[in-house]
Amino acid sequence: MKSSKKFIYILLTLMGFSSCSSDDNNLKGDPFVVAFLDRSANLGEVDFNKNIEMIYSETATSDGAVTVDIEVDNAIYGIDFTTEPAAVDGKITLQINAGDNGNGFVFSKLNPDLNEITSMVRFEIETIDYPDADIRGYTSFQLNLDGEAAFLGGSIAPEVGGPNQQNQIYVDLSGKTSHKIQRDAWDLAFFSKEGFKVGINGSIYMAAAELQETNIDNISQTDVEDLMPQVAVGTFDPANEAYIDYPDGDINRTAISEINLDDAQNKVYLLNLGYEVGTESPVPGSVAIAGSARGWKKIRILRSGDGYLLQYAGLNDSSHQEITISKSPGYNATFFSFNSNAVVNVEPEADSWDLNFTVFTNIIEDAGSYGFSDGVLHNRKGGVTAYSVTTNQYAYESFSASNIIESNFQQDQRTIGASWREVMNTDKVLIDSIFYIIKDANGNVYKLKFTALLNGNGERGFPEFKYELLQ
């Protein structure tokens, strides 16, 4: 737990009291709740022991007990695994001691091949022997076999990096895993699926403009000086939308046209490399996204067999460099960086991530392209879809699989976007009246609600969310 305030907030949301202030510690009149801190974990990541934590809705004022039932598939307690405290007749009894805020037990793997013989070990809160107690929140915890079952949910705090938001975080909900990369570590994305499309890095505000020339060595800065001020993000000119990848994630609407088999159809592009990651320390509640300008390149992209040939140079260079870029089967794209003049690893495999926490380039109506912080994009290219739900339609806690409306799922990768927070006013706040339904590429459906925007010092770039598997 990062702070007592966060601890109280988690408890409140588990209990369904999300409308209460996170500073409201007075739960008198409410039931005493015991819940698991998380909903599931990966059995393959347990080498020997795993602590399974449980939390209370308030400090216990008297003694009591919690009974946890064990359900297992094709494994034997005492031979393949055990617990501390030990189970009796398939049940673990945990003492509630006055003055404590939580409890837990230890799962121990006795059989190193447990992964191969079972698909699931599940623990379920069965009874609570305590005055005015109730079973709510995460009432069960499940250890899943690798790749066999989606995580039931839990809480994740993506390491965006604070007010500079220097990282892109790729989150896989079914595996409850995250992958981190600095957002200026790549420049171009060469798509690996059907067709020959190339994207630019909107997280650092890149922009690209097609020129009429097909010989890259014939272009100099003098030829493009009048165009350069226009090829930028944040000019408040609607015409600059033509110089960015359309922010809905449609690969048919990129700033760079599809690469043609006929070399004569592939033009030279003026490429604004955007900005380095910011390093300033802004006042709490603000962000410092953009650092120094990264300059310009001229590029031309051709087909090379089943891949791409990238030509690139500085604006005043009279010759250029070339590199062949291969497609990466199983991935959305192969990524290239001008910093290293090489291919770099960025995204996990296409079916292994659902959400990307990132700065991104969006469009403001009548003002053109503009940079947004605190962004959350879903993996449209990998088959993920999403839609939003407001709490005047359903409470997050009561939304179930039966409430899913298939026709509501949207491809637009900005379905979450920046809609989960309000930062234009003095107070930077979560929008508590919205949550999201996410369907991954394997058909798993989750509900997801944000629980934090700021850290304890009021700094941006510290998002957290909770989620649950619906089906």
Residues 390 and 304 in one domain: no
Residues 169 and 191 in one domain: no
Read off the pLDDT band of 119 (50, 70, 90). low
Over range 286-308, report the average pLDDT.
Answer: 97
Give, as one character, the DSSP assignment of residue 159.
-
Over range 320-326, report the average pLDDT.
Answer: 97
CA 116 to chain centre: 30
Which is nearest to 43 in space by CA: 132, 108, 126? Answer: 108
Percent of the chain exceeding pLDDT 90 equals: 77
Residue with tokens 């069965």: 126
Q: Which two tokens stand for residue 318?
A: 């009279």
CATH code, domain carrying 16: 2.60.40.2030
Q: What angle do CA 215, 217, 220 make, to 5 degrees?
A: 110
Q: How many domains does the chain have?
A: 3
User: What is the per-residue pLDDT for 146?
Assistant: 54
Range with the lowest mean pLDDT among 111-125, 308-322, 447-461? 111-125
Over range 288-312, report the average pLDDT.
Answer: 97
* Residue 237 to residue 227: CA distance in whole angstroms: 13
User: What is the DSSP secondary-structure string of 110-147?
Assistant: --TTHHHH-SEEEEEEEEEESTTEEE-SS-EEEEEPTT
User: What is the per-residue pLDDT for 26?
Assistant: 32
User: What is the per-residue pLDDT for 23?
Assistant: 32
* Residue 412 to residue 249: CA distance in whole angstroms: 6
Write out the H or E segment, with its range, that includes residue 324: strand 321-325
Residues 132 and 213 in one domain: no
Residues 275 and 404 in one domain: no
User: What is the per-residue pLDDT for 373?
Assistant: 96
Which is nearest to 449 in space by CA: 428, 425, 468? Answer: 468
* Residue 232 to residue 274: CA distance in whole angstroms: 8
* Residue 407 to residue 417: CA distance in whole angstroms: 20
The tens digit of pLDDT for each residue in 197-238 reads 999 999 999 999 999 999 999 999 999 999 999 999 999 999
Evaluate if residue 4 carries a pLDDT over 50. no
The residue out of 149, 167, 192 marking a domain boundary is 149
Evaluate if residue 20 carries a pLDDT over 50. no
The residue out of 329, 348, 367 marking a domain boundary is 348
The tens digit of pLDDT for each residue in 420-470 reads 999 988 788 999 999 999 999 989 999 999 999 999 999 999 999 999 989
Read off the pLDDT band of 175 (50, 70, 90). confident
Residue 322: other Cβ atoms inside 10 A: 13
User: What is the per-residue pLDDT for 319?
Assistant: 97
CA 369 to chain centre: 23
Which residues, 6+ apart, have CB-to-CB distance to 73 below 8 Å? 118, 119, 120, 121
User: What is the per-residue pLDDT for 320?
Assistant: 98
Range with the lowest mean pLDDT among 107-116, 158-167, 281-290? 107-116
The tens digit of pLDDT for each residue in 9-18 reads 333 333 333 3
User: What is the per-residue pLDDT for 354?
Assistant: 97
Over range 261-268, report the average pLDDT.
Answer: 97
Read off the pLDDT band of 152 (50, 70, 90). confident
Q: Is 179 exposed, middle or buried (0-12, 13-18, 19+ CB in 10 A)?
A: middle
The residue out of 149, 170, 192 marking a domain boundary is 149
Q: Which domain holds residue 61?
A: 4-149
Residues 168 and 113 in one domain: no
Measured in residues, the chain has a length of 471
Q: What share of the chain is helix, strand, coil (3-state, %, to 5)?
A: 10, 40, 50
| 314, 308 Cβ separation under 8 angstroms | no
Residue with tokens 């359903």: 394
Residues 103 and 197 in one domain: no
pTM of the model: 0.77
Residues 329 and 357 in one domain: no
Read off the pLDDT band of 260 (50, 70, 90). very high
Residues 142 and 206 in one domain: no
Q: Which two tokens stand for residue 362?
A: 């969006």
Over range 184-192, report the average pLDDT.
Answer: 97
Residues 143 and 187 in one domain: no
Residues 293 and 311 in one domain: yes
Range with the lowest mean pLDDT among 69-83, 111-125, 335-349? 111-125
Residue type, 313: A
Residue type, 42: N
* Residue 41 to residue 428: CA distance in whole angstroms: 33
Instruction: Give CA torsion, residues 179, 185, 188, 194, to 10 deg.
Output: -20
The tens digit of pLDDT for each residue in 42-66 reads 887 788 899 999 999 899 999 999 9
User: What is the per-residue pLDDT for 16?
Assistant: 38
The overall average pLDDT reported for the chain is: 90
User: What is the per-residue pLDDT for 150?
Assistant: 65
* Residue 116 to residue 112: CA distance in whole angstroms: 9
Instruction: Give CA torsion, residues 444, 447, 450, 451, to 10 deg.
Output: -110
Residues 139 and 18 in one domain: yes
User: What is the DSSP secondary-structure string of 197-213?
Assistant: -EEE-GGGT-EEEE-S-
Q: Which two tokens stand for residue 351?
A: 């079916």
Residue type, 29: G
User: What is the DSSP secondary-structure string of 29-97?
Assistant: TSPEEEEES-SEEEGGG-SSEEEEEEEESS--SS-EEEEEEEEESS--BTTTEEEESPPBTTEEEEEE-
* Residue 411 to residue 378: CA distance in whole angstroms: 9
Over range 169-177, report the average pLDDT.
Answer: 89
Residues 196 and 335 in one domain: yes
Over range 129-142, report the average pLDDT.
Answer: 86
Percent of the chain exceeding pLDDT 70 equals: 92
User: What is the per-residue pLDDT for 377?
Assistant: 98
